[in-house]
């Protein structure tokens, strides 16, 4: 089992640029979550999907952020245009409902720095 795969692991960009973060969940998992970690706000849920459908995006900071899940094996989180305050580590996580365990498996994270 390869686990949750995120790319890129590190991204440095300039303010105003578009940023796309990618996630491949564990095969067979039907829930996918995007979290953001900052020193000020800790770990916060941005959005989650069930069977590729966005269920709750109330944590998405503003319209500059968007997330998609075109199929069961791929999701993207896009920031356009990026701002320095978006600098954070973005985690993707997945879980399998049928297991009943409610345990999220996290990817290694994508560290974003916006200059």
* Residues of this chain that bind other proteins (CB under 8 A): 31, 33, 42-43, 45, 48, 50, 55-56, 89, 91, 93, 101-109, 111
Task: Tell me how far, at minimum, the Cβ of 42 lies from other proteins, in Å.
Answer: 5
Number of helices and strands in the chain (H, E): 0, 11
In the block, which residue shows the tokens 């039907």?
Answer: 30
Of residues 93 and 114, the one with the C-beta less far from other proteins: 93
Task: Tell me how far, at minimum, the Cβ of 50 lies from other proteins, in Å.
Answer: 7
- Partners of 45 in the β-ladder: 35
Length of the chain: 115
């Amino acid at each position: 089992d390869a686990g949750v795969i995120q790319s890129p692991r590190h991204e440095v960009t300039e303010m105003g640029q578009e940023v796309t973060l990618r996630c491949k969940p564990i095969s067979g998992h039907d829930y996918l979550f995007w979290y953001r970690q900052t020193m000020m706000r800790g770990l916060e849920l941005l959005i989650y999907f069930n069977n590729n459908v966005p269920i709750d995006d109330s944590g998405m900071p503003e319209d500059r952020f968007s997330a998609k899940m075109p199929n069961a094996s791929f999701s993207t989180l896009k920031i356009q245009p990026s701002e320095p305050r978006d600098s954070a580590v973005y985690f993707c996580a997945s879980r399998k409902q049928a297991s009943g365990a409610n345990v999220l498996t996290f990817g290694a994270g994508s560290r974003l720095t916006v200059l």
